Homo-oligomer: A and B are copies of this chain.
């Protein structure tokens, strides 16, 4: 029996897709899109087209299987294979050495806004605070909808939230709480910039 060879070219996004399919299977690209947009999409964003192309690649690599619906739309339905599950497990067992890559557009602008006038800095801070407030509100809404979920009949639950163990659900909720904490901090930070724009380097 040959050793399971790990394809070397799986990107983090590949693992997102793999993990999402493992969670939601059997599932269509569009369902993945919906699930991603309210969960992982918040800390690992990518365009929806990836959710159409990436599963195909993964299927070619034997990590997913694809079936076509017979009726009407003939959508693609993906499920994870044992090889896929092994690949996912191997990735999880190899914790990332490097931390967050934050890619914050607003901070970038703030960093360089010393080249412009104070009004520009203020505008940046306002825009960022608003954006983070919106996002925080979104997270809170997500949390509320998870709580109401418990009252839904099981048949409707799956389509919206997938099915999995309580532990898996707890992990997902932990990331949601991280997001809330982060957004609260961000709102505070930008509010402080608005109220007292930095002026002296040691202020």
Complex alpha-carbon distance, A128 and B95, angstroms: 8
Interface residue range, chain A = 35 or more
Q: Which residues of B contact A19 (CB under 8 A)?
A: 111-112, 115
B105 and A102 contacting across the interface, CB-CB below 8 Å: no
Tell me whether B107 and A43 are in contact (CB under 8 A): yes
Interface of A is mostly: helix
The minimal Cβ–Cβ distance linking A102 to chain B, given in whole angstroms, is 4
Are B95 and A127 in contact, with the CB atoms below 8 A?
yes
Q: Spell out A's residues near B (CB within 8 Å).
A: 12, 15-16, 19, 22-23, 39-40, 42-45, 85, 88-89, 91-93, 95-116, 118, 120-121, 123-124, 126-128, 131-132, 134-135, 146-147, 164-175, 178, 181-182, 185-186, 189, 193, 198-203
